[in-house]
Structure 1
Amino acid sequence: MSYLDDIVEKHAPKAWDGHINAPGLAIIKRYEGWRSSPYLCAAKRPTIGWGSTWDINGNPVTLDHPDIDEEQGTALLRKEITHVEKGIRRLIKAELTENMFSALCSFAFNVGTGNLQRSTLRMKLNRGQYEDAADEFPKWRKAGGRILKGLVRRRASERALFLAE
């Protein structure tokens, strides 16, 4: 391998592996926030770590769940994201870019794949109406019947990632 080949290999963009990308994970972590102890999220569900509602064994988190560290929280997040990714692949038939897929992962992690399935966002996306689908993100700003500023900001971040080249 020549010197130039070595430089190109080290700096070449990585091919998309079909999973959520770093910006998508960053959106989840930013808006979910980190909590080592269980708490009730805005939708009144017991949650832990980076917004996980399931423990490592696949059981629902309870308020008496033991505390976890960041390494355990990241493992929980990765496990839940795997299920979200599968749901998106099953529900979305339109061709997606890495950023579109990752924005949808953050969205579905937050609202659930069942809500994604019933959404106008999914219907528009599967019709190939990408910009119209992107305009659906801001409509998902409520939790517990209230508009939350954090959800308004999160949806704006997801929409921006969805539309990014």
Structure 2
Amino acid sequence: MKTTKTRLVGASAVLLVSFVGAWEGLRTEAYKDIVGVPTICYGETKGVKVEDLATKAECDAMLNTSLKEHEAGMRQCLSPPDQIPIKTYLAMVSLSYNIGTGAFCKSTARRRLNSGDWVGACEAATWFNRAGGRKVKGLVNRRQAEYRMCMQGARE
């Protein structure tokens, strides 16, 4: 069985789950998000149908699993991922969870991380503040919170 390395353990995992959970919010009944995608729990979209329901425990488990999946996808396009300061790393997992690993792996933020430019990566991550082609205040606020976390790591 192949094991995937993770940095989402202990205090780091707790910090990220609470950070992402607070920004995503919990909804146990599926709904259509700002661009019309069926969504449930803490922003889960994979396989969701509008009539879906979930318990808080199911949502918590989904978030933990999904964060680790997004981290694994993110790690595949980072070189080397374990040299990134932990708070910068956590901010990037949050970004990846929100925009998807495909978008993350194509981003300037990823390119800057790979070159060791932590500050530049934090800045580039703030550019993901649109949904449906328009700037969304909630995404602007989330990116600023991620930026603050990211910069705590970048200044280590």
TM-score bin (small chain): 0.7 to 0.9
Alpha-carbon distance in structure 2 between the residues aligned to 1:135 and 1:75: 31
1:125 aligns with: 113
Alpha-carbon distance in structure 1 between the residues aligned to 2:150 and 2:116: 14
TM-score, with length taken from structure 2: 0.85
Residues 111-158 of structure 1: CA deviation (Å, up to 9, x unaligned): 000000110111111111111111112211001111111100100111
Larger Rg: 1 or 2? 1
Q: Which aligned pairs between 1:12-161 and structure 2 lie closer than 5 A? A: 18-19=7-8, 20-54=12-46, 60-65=47-52, 67-94=53-80, 95-161=83-149
Deviating above 3 A after TM superposition, structure 1's stretches of 4 or more consecutive aligned residues are none
- SS at the partner of 2:31? strand
Alpha-carbon distance in structure 2 between the residues aligned to 1:164 and 1:23: 14
TM-score, with length taken from structure 1: 0.81
- Output the amino acid matched with 1:72: E
Report sequence identity in percent: 27
- Output the amino acid matched with 2:58: Q
Gaps of 5+ in 2: 1-5
The structure with higher relative contact order (CA 8 Å, sep 6+) is 1
Alpha-carbon distance in structure 2 between the residues aligned to 1:18 and 1:138: 23
Gaps of 5+ in 1: 1-16, 55-59
Alpha-carbon distance in structure 1 between the residues aligned to 2:134 and 2:18: 25
Residues 88, 118 of structure 2: 8 Å contact kept: no
